Copies of this chain bind each other. A is one copy, B any other.
Amino acid sequence: MDSLERLAELFERFPGIGPRQARRFVYHLLTSDAGFRKELSQTIDAIGAAARHCPECGRFHDGANPRCGICANSNRDSSLLTVVATDADLRAIEQSASYRGYYFVLGGTVSLAANKQATLRESMMKEQVTKRADTGLEEVILAFPASPEGDVTADHIHSVLAPLADEKGFKITQLGRGLSTGSELEYADSTTIKNALDSRR
């Protein structure tokens, strides 16, 4: 098979990429300079060889050091640990610049479709929480999406951590619900309005 066509097929496997955009990627590479193509293929090789999950928080990092940059940073607030579903959620919280604690990445949410359960890193989470509880942890924040799956995951993780929280004396909280930026009352759903009323202050 034509290598251009083969490359387009490989790009079609990327998330959200259809045949037309895959071909546009191929043309883009063809018309890019050789240095760009070379760095791209070398970096793809590099992450294959070195990238790994951080042994503390579970997120992907480049493997240059044993732990990821956040877990290795001893200046963060060790009284807080936020449990998120994905690396992308961790990234969004970091970008908000409003949190200085540590994280744990669960690896997904509890699926409501019985037949597709993600493998969540629950025992690794319990280990981390236990370890941190012995070194100053005061609060575990459950930061899951405001969706049915996020709610089920929060309930589940809450029940998993509740005995540890009682034993070790930390609290478990959840992100607040209400109007998000840009919400017009007129277009808000009833649950959001109820949450916004419940959390008024």
Closest residue of B by beta carbon distance from A88: B186
Assess whether B174 is in contact with A192, with CB atoms less than 8 Å apart: no
Closest residue of B by beta carbon distance from A46: B3
Assess whether A185 is in contact with B143, with CB atoms less than 8 Å apart: yes
**Chain B residues with CB under 8 A of A180:** 146, 177-180, 183, 188-189, 192, 195
Check A89 for interface membership: any CB of B closer than 8 A: yes
**Chain B residues with CB under 8 A of A93:** 185, 193, 197
Assess whether A196 is in contact with B176, with CB atoms less than 8 Å apart: yes
Instruction: Please tell me how many copies of the chain the complex holds.
Output: 4
Assess whether A176 is in contact with B175, with CB atoms less than 8 Å apart: no
Check A75 for interface membership: any CB of B closer than 8 A: no
Check A117 for interface membership: any CB of B closer than 8 A: no
Check A37 for interface membership: any CB of B closer than 8 A: yes
Assess whether B92 is in contact with A193, with CB atoms less than 8 Å apart: yes
* Interface positions of A from 85 to 113, Cβ below 8 Å from B: 85-89, 91-93, 95-99
* Interface positions of A from 30 to 75, Cβ below 8 Å from B: 30, 32, 34, 36-48, 50-51, 60-62, 64, 69
* Other contacts beyond A13-B36, A40-B41: 6, CB < 8 A: A2-B62, A15-B24, A92-B188, A176-B196, A178-B199, A199-B199
Interface residues of A (CB under 8 A from B): 2-7, 10, 13-16, 20-21, 23-30, 32, 34, 36-48, 50-51, 60-62, 64, 69, 84-89, 91-93, 95-99, 141, 143-147, 173-201
What are 19 A-to-B residue pairs whose CB atoms are below 8 Å? A2-B61, A3-B50, A4-B60, A7-B40, A10-B36, A10-B40, A24-B88, A30-B47, A30-B51, A37-B48, A86-B186, A96-B194, A97-B190, A145-B185, A176-B177, A176-B197, A177-B179, A178-B180, A180-B180
